[in-house]
Chain A
Amino acid sequence: MTKLMYFAILLPAVISLLALGTRKLGRVCGATALLGAVVNLVVALKLFMAPETAVHIPWTSWGLDFTLRLYSFSGFIVLAAAGFALAVTLYSLPFMAKRAHSGLFYFQLLLSVAFANGAALADNLILLLFFWEGLLITIYGMIAIGRPGAWKSALKALVLVGASDVIMMFGIGLTGHYAGTLTISKMHLALTHAGPTLAFLCLVIGATAKAGALPFHSWIPDAAVDAPLPFMALMPAAFEKLLGIYFLARVTLDIFVLTPASWCSTLLMTLGAVTILVAVMMALVQTDYKRLLAYCAISQVGYMLLGIGTAVPVGIIGGLFHMINHALYKTGLFLSAGAVEHRSGTTELNKLGGLARQMPVTFFCFLVAACSGAGIPPFAGFFSKELIYDGALERNGVFYAAALLGSFLTVASFLKLGHSAFFGKVSEANKGVKEAPWAMLLPMLAIAGFCIYFGLFNTVPLHKLIQPVLGAHRLEGHDFAGWPHSIGLVVGTLVVLALAALHHFFGVKRSGSGSGAADHVRGAPGLRQAYDAAGQGWFDPYVIGMKFARAIGAVTWGVDRTINWISDGFAVGVVAMSSYLVRAVHTGSLSIYIWWALAGLVLVIVFLVKVN
């Protein structure tokens, strides 16, 4: 089995190099990538079936060891990642066919798979960090090869994710210091003292930033517009969530012992709730298919944070279940966005409409995924959200209320999205639009299938995938599969769904179009100013940071000028002068060189004799 673990990391990397090598060959490159994804899926399946095992190769004396650990959770993540990678690769074949840099895209896609597998399997914090940073590079690379000018978004992603990773590095250092080891499975730190708590917070920031929670989220909507679409389906929708939440779960479950009594738990839940609400409010007013989905994805991370932050079994199970469900339906939604973009050439909601008739299969997939995301029974998202509500209610009614409000807004934004894209009048430009090619439909259908399957037969994922993560002793005999236990919760959810539908029809009636269904929210007193500010980037840490940096830059400009002549005029001058002098004394004369050597010899002997 140890060999399989190496395969999981090395095979995608090797095949990625093959893809890089064949990047000029178009179809061959795509086929190579597909082969890589299939091979990876096979390896992942085998890994998932394999019994728990670990590799340990000592490297250094101070704790940096090559340690991999395969157990139910990491196996599950690797399998899920492999599934998404295959779906996205298949989908990319037609999507990327006519675009520039498709070879580079496949190369980085497979490389990301290798890094993701490595990060999931790593059992040493530094090793994990290595793979983690590897993903940072591929994120940058994949955004940068998007449309012209995408490098700005790529840089934003690099800076924001990089900043959070620096915090995480610091956390890893602290954790290693307090735990006395860097091996994850050997750590059990209580959150009773300030030091470990600080380490915990740093790691949580790293994990949640990877998952895309506030406040490190703001690169995602920009990337949604600029990056190639399959990247969005793969990275922010699937990999980032899987890995971020995976690491968060390991931080809260394994590395540290998070109890409901701890204020850290409350903090996590608050962060979750705020993320849900802020992001979904932003989602509601977006007018671009992809941007809306991106904000929605951010908001769903809040649910997972909320669930895991409850620190009670039902919440954690809910959070993890929502992770996989969300990865499924959000990937499905992004893929549908890609299909729409591929055929109609735009993703602006104002220019779309009536596509349900022209692209029925795409619409069907969108519908299933959106239902799952909105939490409509009996789709998968419904069950995971119910579990999270249950957990939130167990802790505090406020969080339940926030989650419910978030759900309301999510449904509203999905209704707006579906309405404006798939119903209404067909615009002139879109008259000739046809259904997407089969290679794009196939992954979407598969994902839609999973959305239904995980809902109707939620026993399967919960029993096979999610509940083993917590283990029998922490489940305390509960079984969360099947229909929700509390009828009250279900009723509450249904009421919210109905309210959302009413709200939507009210909005449509008022504005006259599907895409304007949320305009009254945008224009509501109080909210309008907030949205305007958000539009100008007042809440975006990157923009704030850049403004701050510019202010500091202006202040230091004067100081800089005074130092400038020292560095430019003086230091460079001194170096240039000494360089000139040094060259001038190398006259090429042999006797001078002999002189130097003899003088050196005398110096050596005199020095030796004198100093001794």
Chain B
Amino acid sequence: MPSLLVILPLLAVLLLNLPLNFLRRLAQPAALLFAVYQALFALQVLPAGCTGCPTHERWFVNVLDPLTSVLLLAIAIVMFAAVCVLRATASDEKHGFNALNLMLLAVAGMNGLVMVRDLFSLYIFLEIASVSSFLLIAAQRDMGGLEGAFKYLVMSALATMMMLASIGLLLAYSGSTKFMVVAEALHAHGSHGYLLTAIGLFLGGLLIKSGVVPFHGWLPDAYAAAPAAASTLLAGIVTKCTGVYTLIRLVQDVFGPAVATQQLLLIFGALSVVVGALAALGQSDLKRLLAYSSISQVGYILLGLGVCGSANKFAAQLGVAGAVFHLFNHAIFKTLLFVNAAAVEKQTGTRDMNRLGGLAQKMPITGLTSLLAMFATAGVPPLAGFWSKLLIIAALWLAGLHGYAVLGIAASLLTLAYFLSMQRRVFFGLLRPEFAHVREAGWALTVPSLLLAAILVGVGLALPWLIGSFLLPVKGF
């Protein structure tokens, strides 16, 4: 029952807020349980999802294709990690409880978002996830959080306005907001300026939401300023769902991979890859570095998506498969890195990398898993990130876009450079005397770290199996 994935969090929020004290204590286990349920559900429909799992119900009919199922799985995993981080870092019970409710709402929004097939419903669920995210960022009412939330809110409102304008224009033309109807209508006069304006407006909105250069201004501020649990959820999955997933879905299903769209995706993708990596290189705030790294990695996803309409069918298939795979991988390793950042911040009280150092001795699990995540991000075999980057770069090369392929490889070096600098400044080197008594951050942070690291390694090793059964069919619907 896919609709349960939206209704259960809603019911949970309603139930947990009944004026009964013991219910509050059940909140975190309930949220974890829900995450596990969702993960199991997604895993169960994943194998059947290749052809599209038929679902007979009122709201979500036949929506469980591979792309949606993969996103559902990623949402569940990131939510699990975020709830764990919340448990470890919440300043007091009240804050923790508030944040948990908002997380449940955000997850309900994202679950709906990946399952709807209607432009306007998409907007609604997008807005649910976004509003919950603003509130999660601002929840502590500290200055940084408020600033980040305000910037995010304004840019996000701008983005939704663009999307709504596009929906209005398309409504006037096609008389509907359903993906299928709009896609057919666009097919008839796809090259008319009016419709292209509509598409452009929607793309612009999505590019803001995904934080692609030059639409990205809000992203580093929001990521860096948010409380640990919120930034885990936000960086791990919210922007991936609201921006990147939607972009993939709409470009594939509704707007169609026109030549101009592809070129735009490639240009913005390349710009993001380079600018994100360059900006990350000079950061001293750990979370801000990770935020810029996110921009850079989203650029890779866009590059992969940019060949989705290539004349070389195999390249197109590889590109989309790579984009979706990288989306999933990025959700995993970025979550892992944010969990570790939360552990470091919790144990040392700072995120300034110039003041850290040598923590790998004291926090071996955190150091090791972030090394893994870093290798995965930079694309070191056989971790998951290597394969997805390989797919993307291979697709670019096959499609004849050699320049972009070379750029992708070169930017990998930059990725490695800024992550090595991070690893060196935080985990290696000399341990500062004030951190002599730092210890590992406790199970609530190490368990999700280890889990996510295991997923990274496992997915990387299982690639030969994954690629035939899940990844390549993504393009096939």
Contacts and interface: CB of A to CB of B under 8 A. Distances in A.
A and B touch in the complex (CB under 8 A): yes
Interface of A: 59-61, 64, 575-576, 578-580, 582-583, 586, 588, 590, 592-594, 596-597, 599-601, 604-605, 607-612
6 contacts: A59-B465, A582-B278, A600-B215, A601-B201, A604-B200, A609-B200
Interface in B145-180: 150-151, 154-155, 158-159, 162
B30 interface: no
B110 to A, nearest CB: 23
- B interface, over-half SS: helix
A298 B281 CA distance: 52
Nearest to B465: A59
Given A576-B281, A582-B279, A604-B264, 11 more contacts: A579-B278, A579-B282, A592-B217, A593-B155, A597-B159, A597-B208, A597-B215, A601-B200, A601-B204, A605-B204, A612-B191
A586 B220 contact: yes
A118 to B, nearest CB: 14
Contact of B155 (A576, A597, A607, A610): A597
Contacts of A64: 464
B279 A579 contact: yes
A518 B247 CA distance: 79
A612 B198 CA distance: 14
A601 B200 CA distance: 7
B98 interface: no
B468 interface: yes
Interface of B: 150-151, 154-155, 158-159, 162, 190-191, 193, 196-197, 199-201, 203-204, 207-208, 214-218, 220-221, 258-261, 263-264, 268, 275, 278-279, 281-283, 414, 417, 464-465, 467-468
A579 B281 contact: yes
Contacts of B214: 596-597, 599-600
Contacts of B191: 612
A602 to B, nearest CB: 9
Contacts of B154: 590, 594
A164 B38 CA distance: 49
A604 B197 CA distance: 9
A508 to B, nearest CB: 57
Nearest to B162: A601
Nearest to A580: B282
B414 A575 contact: yes
Given A588-B221, A593-B218, A605 B278 contact: no
A60 B260 contact: no
| 8 interchain residue pairs of minimum CB distance | A593-B217, A605-B200, A611-B260, A601-B204, A596-B214, A59-B464, A579-B282, A612-B191
Contacts of B151: 590, 593
Contacts of A604: 200, 203-204, 207, 264
B288 to A, nearest CB: 10
B342 to A, nearest CB: 24
Contacts of A612: 190-191, 196, 258-260
Given A609-B196, A609-B197, A575 B464 contact: no
A582 B258 contact: no
Contacts of B150: 590
B282 to A, nearest CB: 4
- A interface, over-half SS: helix
A60 B159 CA distance: 42
A608 B221 contact: no
A563 B411 CA distance: 21
B467 A596 contact: no
Contacts of A594: 154-155, 158, 217
Contacts of B203: 604, 608
Contacts of A605: 196-197, 200-201, 204
B476 to A, nearest CB: 15
Which of B261, B268, B279 has the largest number of chain A CB atoms within 10 A?
B279
Which of A588, A597, A605, A610 has the largest number of chain B CB atoms within 10 A?
A597
A609 B193 contact: yes
Contacts of A599: 214
A594 B200 CA distance: 17
A60 B217 contact: no
Contacts of A601: 162, 200-201, 204
Given A597-B215, A608-B260, A612-B260, A583 B199 contact: no
A60 B468 contact: yes
Nearest to A57: B465
A586 B215 CA distance: 12
A579 B414 CA distance: 11
A60 B408 CA distance: 26
A578 B278 contact: yes
Contact of B263 (A61, A575, A600, A611): A611
A575 B278 contact: yes
A580 B278 CA distance: 8
Contacts of A592: 217
A21 B264 CA distance: 51
Contacts of A588: 221
Contacts of A576: 281-282
A576 B468 CA distance: 42
Nearest to B151: A590
A588 B285 CA distance: 15
Contacts of A60: 464, 467-468
Contacts of B221: 588
A575 B281 contact: yes
Nearest to B467: A60
Contacts of A578: 278
Nearest to A572: B417
A596 B215 contact: yes
B278 A607 contact: no
Nearest to A587: B217
Nearest to A60: B464
Contacts of B196: 605, 608-609, 612
Nearest to A588: B221
A596 B215 CA distance: 6
B270 to A, nearest CB: 14
B264 A607 contact: yes
B186 to A, nearest CB: 12
Contacts of A583: 279, 282-283
B218 A582 contact: no
B259 to A, nearest CB: 7
Contacts of B201: 601, 605
Contacts of A607: 200, 260, 263-264
A202 B73 CA distance: 45
A393 to B, nearest CB: 49
Contacts of B207: 600, 604
B458 to A, nearest CB: 15
Contacts of B465: 59
Contacts of A596: 214-217
A59 B465 CA distance: 6
Contacts of A600: 204, 207, 214-215, 268
Contacts of A609: 193, 196-197, 200
A67 to B, nearest CB: 13
A610 B261 CA distance: 12
Contacts of A608: 196-197, 199-200, 203, 258, 260-261, 264
A603 B190 CA distance: 19
B146 to A, nearest CB: 13
Nearest to A59: B464
Nearest to B197: A605
B444 to A, nearest CB: 22
A109 B472 CA distance: 39
A576 B465 CA distance: 41
Contacts of B216: 596
A611 B468 CA distance: 35
A597 B214 CA distance: 6
A611 B259 contact: yes
A575 B417 CA distance: 11
A401 B204 CA distance: 83
A129 B88 CA distance: 44
Which of A580, A594, A601 has the largest number of chain B CB atoms within 10 A?
A601
